[in-house]
Amino acid sequence: MPSAPSQIVARLEGVAKSYAGRPVLKDFNIALEAGSVVALLGPNGAGKSTVAGLITGRLAADAGAVTLFDRDPRDAEARARMGVMLQAAGLPEALTVAEAVSLHAGYFKRRLKTSDILEQAGLTALAKRRCDKLSGGEQRRVHFALAIAGAPDFLVLDEPTTGFDPEARRAMWRLVREKADAGVAVLLATHHMDEADALADRIVVIADGKIIADGPPAAIKAKVAGSTIRIRTTLSPAHLQMLPGAAKVDQRGADTAILTTNARATLEALFSADPALTDFEVASASLEDALADIIANTVKEAA
């Protein structure tokens, strides 16, 4: 169900942006809604960082309109309602986690209590530890704490789980989902397809400065009709590409993934060509498969 206009947190309308005469965004349009996690995906150089920079006010558009809470993104009142977790950001090494969080929260009029911020970010047990004694994953949790310190209505998260172990990643996913479920709009930039699949209500795929796919993860994955067969075989990629139903072959070390439109036909031909084949797995096409297929088709159409 579409959101009412009052629920639109950030919007780009007809935006163009170039660097040194090279167009990065062209007539670009996107709206971000309260209570929704939007994952921005696409190849390097597609314009993802530029979109985030425009929304957060770090960049200015060459043409078109950019609004944050119906204001200019550089407006102080609009920025006060936004929390940003950048991929590359330092911490005050001499301060403890609690001191760093309290100092940062003091910049906001509607700041959360330090103890509440630490609890929400899973940092209570680390409150008295100095920031220079934290692991990479623990530092990222502090960055998240700083992003939520001002009780933001909009969160921009750039690679939020870098350096996390699997358990810590799932814990961070729960924190982000809790914020979205409470009405916070979240813009997520990540290279982890499982993260986008698990967290996002909506996935926006950008290539060549334009949106080429936009919808829930299930709808994006449905654009790839087929399955993925993962195998270990002595057959060459060229041979595998000729199998019935095979749409794409991706070899990574000893493992090979075959994207197929007819898993049964592909498997039957595989067993015939490689009778020794015993190690295989069949799964639905992943978000990564879908993303690669969508981008490849876009490139073909543009050629």
Whether 214 and 276 map to the same domain: the answer is no
Whether 232 and 216 map to the same domain: the answer is no
* pTM for the model: 0.79
Is residue 5 very low, low, confident or very high in pLDDT (cuts 50, 70, 90)?
very low
Of 183, 205, 220, the position where a domain reaches its end is 220
Helix (H, G, I), strand (E, B) or coil at 68: strand
The CATH code of the domain that includes 259 is 3.30.70
Whether 26 and 165 map to the same domain: the answer is yes
CA distance 164 to 168: 6
The pLDDT score that the predictor gives to residue 284 is 76
**What residues pair up with 246 in beta bridges, in sequence order?**
260
DSSP class of residue 159? S
Is residue 34 very low, low, confident or very high in pLDDT (cuts 50, 70, 90)?
very high
Nearest Cα residue to 85 out of 148, 133, 41:
148
The CATH code of the domain that includes 194 is 3.40.50.300
* Residue at 289 is within a domain: no
User: 96, exposed or middle or buried, with CB in 10 Å at 0-12, 13-18, 19+?
Assistant: middle
pLDDT of residue 299 exceeding 70? no
Whether 160 and 241 map to the same domain: the answer is no
* Residue at 291 is within a domain: no
pLDDT of residue 225 exceeding 70? no
Is residue 154 very low, low, confident or very high in pLDDT (cuts 50, 70, 90)?
very high
Distance (Å) of CA 218 to CA 29, 79, 185, 190, 196: 22, 33, 20, 18, 11
* Residue environment code for 11-41, b if the CB has 16+ CB neighbours within 10 A, otherwise e: bbeebebeeeeeebbbebebbbbbbbbbbbb
Whether 204 and 237 map to the same domain: the answer is no
Whether 214 and 242 map to the same domain: the answer is no
The whole-chain average pLDDT of the chain stands at 89
Question: If you count them, how many residues does the chain have?
Answer: 303
Whether 78 and 150 map to the same domain: the answer is yes
The pLDDT score that the predictor gives to residue 1 is 41
- Domain of 207, in residue numbers: 5-220
Whether 138 and 271 map to the same domain: the answer is no
Owner of token pair 């670009």: 28
Element at 36 (helix H, strand E): none
Is residue 300 very low, low, confident or very high in pLDDT (cuts 50, 70, 90)?
low
Are 28 and 214 in contact by the 8 Å Cβ rule? The answer is no
How many domains does the chain fold into? 2
Whether 236 and 249 map to the same domain: the answer is yes
Q: What is the mean pLDDT of residues 8-20?
A: 95
Q: What percent of the chain has pLDDT over 70?
A: 95
Whether 27 and 127 map to the same domain: the answer is yes
Q: Taking the CB of residue 95, how many other CB atoms lie within 10 A of it?
A: 16
* Residue at 161 is within a domain: yes
* Residue at 175 is within a domain: yes
Q: What is the mean pLDDT of residues 157-186?
A: 90
